[in-house]
Amino acid sequence: MNIDLSGRNAMITGGSKGLGLAAAKEMAASGANVAIVARDAGTLNDARAQLTAHAPKAKVLAVQADVCAAEQLAAAHANVMREFGRIDVLVNNAGHHAAGSFGDLSDAAWDADIQLKLMATVRLTRLAWPGMLAQRWGRVINVLNTYAKAPVAGSAPTSVTRAAQLALTKVLAHEGGPHNVLANALLIGRIKSDQIVRRYKASGSSMPIADFMTQHAVEAKIPIGRMGEPEEFAGLVCFLASDAGGYINGAAINVDGGMAPVV
Ligand SMILES: NC(=O)c1ccc[n+]([C@@H]2O[C@H](COP(=O)([O-])OP(=O)(O)OC[C@H]3O[C@@H](n4cnc5c(N)ncnc54)[C@H](OP(=O)(O)O)[C@@H]3O)[C@@H](O)[C@H]2O)c1
């Protein structure tokens, strides 16, 4: 099946690295224009260069913004609208792992996670929503964690914030469905990304990174026996962003090699 996103405009938060960059590359290669949002200017520039090399025909916009800051998010949205004219696909992906023992988590830790994941998704989707409804075509893809459905000890605050985003996804699916604006959630298990490389470096491990990742997959009891590749996530984003994904709405799809104990 050929996924054709020609004429579509996609905005991807956290699009400068890891999963977000992989999704941006795949969508751009499938014909979409892509706007990536992140905080670090150097990484954004590098990502823009990678995207342009990967998909020379795509319009690529790199937007510097902290999704936790409402005014920066609004400016980022305005920038994309000015350059692209409309947004067809919104991928709410910016985030990072935040988990600890419940008793140790301060209000500040809870609030930071809620702002980064839930409120950024609320605010940016609210900005993109009226345009999607008016054009009777839209896709909202929320990138979450399997903990949204299957929390474990030590997984707060992220599991709780992700569960809230999961509920939000379902609300959007119900409200957007009649207007052909579809919302779905992708629940990630363990996929190779810059985040994982940072964890490897922080661990001080002397083993090669490939062995570290294999060990990680074994410890996480991933049935497939390995971590996922970013491209194995990006293909699904592309499918959901396309007309081929036109009957999938309100779904929460595990992208985890079978790791989660729930479907
Ligand atoms: N990889 C996994 O195994 C895994 C597992 C479960 C869930 N996830 C989720 O999947 C998403 C992508 O993860 P990843 O592994 O690809 O992470 P990553 O490699 O660390 O990339 C994160 C991206 O988000 C951006 N970002 C982070 N905070 C931001 C902020 N406040 N404002 C704007 N951009 C921000 C980063 O750029 P800047 O730092 O420059 O802003 C970067 O582009 C995250 O939501 C993560 O929680 C990943």
Q: Where are the domains of the chain?
A: 9-191+229-252, 192-227
Nearest atom in ligand 1 to the alpha carbon of residue 40 is 40
pTM exceeds cut of 0.85: yes
Return the amino acid letter for 151.
P
Distances in whole angstroms, Cα of residue 117 to Cα of each of 3, 108, 131: 29, 14, 22
Mutate to test the pocket of ligand 1, among 11, 12, 13, 17 (most ligand atoms within 8 A of CB): 17
Mutate to test the pocket of ligand 1, among 19, 97, 169, 233 (most ligand atoms within 8 A of CB): 19
Distance CA 171, CA 176 (A): 8
The 10s digit of each residue's pLDDT in 120-172 is 999 999 999 999 999 999 999 999 999 999 999 999 999 999 999 999 999 99
Distance CA 157, CA 180 (A): 33
Nearest atom in ligand 1 to the alpha carbon of residue 20 is 16
DSSP-assigned states of every residue in 96-165? ---EE-GGG--HHHHHHHIIIIIIHHHHHHHHHHHHHHHHT-EEEEEEEEGGGTS--TT-EEHHHHHHHH
Residue 81: exposed, middle, or buried by beta-carbon count in 10 A (0-12, 13-18, 19+)? Answer: middle
State the CATH architecture for 9-191+229-252.
3-Layer(aba) Sandwich (3.40)
Where b means 16+ CB within 10 Å and e means fewer, 1-33 reads eebebeebbbbbbbbbbbbbbbbbbbbbbbbbb
189 CA distance to ligand 1 centroid (A)?
14
Closest residue by CA, ligand 1 atom 17: 195
Distance CA 224, CA 219 (A): 12
Of the candidate ranges 15-24, 128-137, 211-220, 242-251, the one whose mean pLDDT is the lowest: 211-220
The 10s digit of each residue's pLDDT in 78-122 is 999 999 999 999 999 999 999 999 999 999 999 999 999 999 999
For the chain, give the longest Cα–Cα distance.
55
pLDDT band at 61 (very low <50, low <70, confident <90, very high): very high
Hey, what are 54's tokens? 């990967």
192 CA distance to ligand 1 centroid (A)?
12
Residues with CB under 6 A from ligand 1: 13-14, 16-20, 37-40, 43, 66-68, 93-97, 116, 143, 145, 188, 190-191, 193-196
State the CB neighbour count (10 A cutoff) for residue 55. Answer: 21
- Cis before 223? omega within 30: no
Nearest atom in ligand 1 to the alpha carbon of residue 39 is 41
Q: Order of strands across the sheet with 9-13?
A: 60-64, 33-38, 9-13, 89-92, 138-145, 181-188, 252-255
Mutate to test the pocket of ligand 1, among 195, 196, 226, 229 (most ligand atoms within 8 A of CB): 195
Nearest atom in ligand 1 to the alpha carbon of residue 97 is 47
Nearest atom in ligand 1 to the alpha carbon of residue 47 is 43
Mean pLDDT on 179-189: 98
14 CA distance to ligand 1 centroid (A)?
5
Distance CA 127, CA 78 (A): 9
196 CA distance to ligand 1 centroid (A)?
10
